[in-house]
Structure 1
């Protein structure tokens, strides 16, 4: 197989992306569609789901709160109806969670972050595995972790804790599911340009009494190339892991960042 073919996922792949109607999830959906994949997304924003499905005929969608078991079940009912099976699960849904010292964080905010960022990934994985076992070329599962899942992240402990947990989940499932020809990896984006990161910077700036620009500069000083990662760069890494070129890669946490050593 030629190198270019190795780097491109097989046309016709059936892909489910959680949190797939905006941000990184949307970039991943568009990237898969460009390779000829059939994509189903779920997202809590029903209007965004409808807009995406209208703009891209290869995409179907379900409005769902990934933290609700009944909604997860409904997503898989729709996946089986729309796609007739599953080859790739991209567990992307997540929230930023609260910013603050551990003694300041509301337990309800902690629990919500864990429900969305970790428990939902478990729920989708357990429902996806029976379908992925039937994937003709083997199944693929990708968990969207974070650079905060390999580094400490002060004042963002709920977020960081869940992202560390996703790496452990991915590595453990790779061992468990390898005999079923299912590859499982995690992707760890660095500081990603977009509205969510802008909100994080703004919250930290307010806490420290700094301007947004001053706080942004502090974040960029920690990055070797002094710029943020783009959503499209994250999507390209996910495509690689889902392509024949990634067929020998499982149980790994792939950092997509620019030499970030502290947050």
Structure 2
């Protein structure tokens, strides 16, 4: 753990927000957006992002159940509570064609994206309930969860699992005043999309073709996804729960998705 500040803020002051995947394209934008509104932002990822100035950073492999529990405990010990979880950690997978995707790869992607989401959501939910924190849990799914696609089946399957985790937890945690929602990005200008485009063998052509399918005719910027997350994690919007919000340039309007 890289420690940069140990100040514990009282419950009437700034929100303590844990962002997983804080070193990634969307995660780093979320960190910046939530810091700008005044949150005490704690990051967690496999490695820190050079130059990122956050309250604390914890190394985290979301497939490691014990490490996940330990990190949550350390955040509570250092900062007193967790008001918001933004779970942005995830992977695309290395094989586009489902017919040559190995079972091992399918299980790896599911373990990171789906099982990891379940584990950290459960851990944070339990500490929020124990402490009486009326907080917010925000999960990252994808518009890929909502349609049949011919590429990256493990990723797509894992992201519909994320939605089911969100829906169930929203029902379970609602009586505790805890909101649980998901944001579903479409194509975003991040390293994840760059990986997908590069694997196609014609990166720019793949980007142009994908953008042309969208009503907005362009990819989202990470800051646009972060803005939606900022809205759903604002305490004044805590009555919103069980929501799956697409940030996808109109991907499901019948003009290509």
Normalising by structure 1, report the TM-score: 0.87
Match 1:221 to one of 212, 217, 228: 212
**Alignment partner, residue 3 of structure 2:** none
Secondary structure of 1:133's counterpart equals helix
For 2:211 and 2:13, how far apart are their aligned partners in 1? 38
Could you list the per-position Cα deviations for residues 105-157 of structure 1 after superposition, in whole angstroms to 9, with x for gaps in the alignment?
A: 01111111011101111111111112222667611001100111222222111
- The answer for the alignment partner of 1:252 in structure 2 is 243
Question: Quick check: 1:95–1:116 contact (8 Å CA) kept in 2?
Answer: yes
1:124-163 alignment runs, 5 A limit:
124-133=120-129, 138-163=134-159
1:14 to 7, 16, 32: 16
Partner residue of 1:64? 60
Contact between 1:147 and 1:257, CA under 8 Å: does it hold in 2? Answer: yes
Is the CA contact 1:12–1:38 (under 8 Å) kept in the aligned structure 2?
yes
Between the aligned partners of 1:87 and 1:104, the Cα distance in structure 2 is: 42
The answer as to whether partners of 2:197 and 2:204 remain within 8 angstroms in 1 is no
Instruction: Choose which of 215, 228, 232 in structure 1 pairs with 2:223.
Output: 232
Could you tell me the TM-score, scaled by structure 2's length? 0.88
**Which residues of 2 match residues 178-197 of structure 1 at below 5 A?**
178-197=174-193
- 2-structure distance, mates of 1:135, 1:235: 27
* Aligned CA distance change for structure 1 residues 87 and 63 (closer, same or farther; 3 Å): same
**Quick check: 1:166 aligned with 2:162?**
yes
Please tell me whether the aligned partners of residues 11 and 35 of structure 1 are also in contact (alpha carbons under 8 angstroms).
Answer: no
SS at match of 2:29: helix
Correspondence for 2:33 among 31, 53, 67: 31
> SS of the residue aligned with 2:33?
helix
Measure the CA separation in 1 of the matches of 2:89 and 2:193.
Answer: 15
Task: Report the aligned-residue RMSD.
Answer: 1.8
Distance 1:192 1:32, change over 3 A: same
Please tell me whether residue 175 in structure 1 is matched to residue 171 in structure 2: yes
Residues 132 and 140, structure 1, Cα contact 8 Å, conserved in 2? no
Q: Secondary structure at the match of 2:137?
A: strand
3-state DSSP of counterpart to 1:248: coil
Cα separation, 2, equivalents of 1:226 and 1:76: 40
Rounded Cα–Cα distance in structure 2 between residues aligned with 1:100 and 1:238: 28
Q: CA deviation at 1:185?
A: 0.5
Q: How many residues align?
A: 243
Long gaps (5+) in structure 1: 1-9
Unaligned runs of 5+ in 2: 1-11
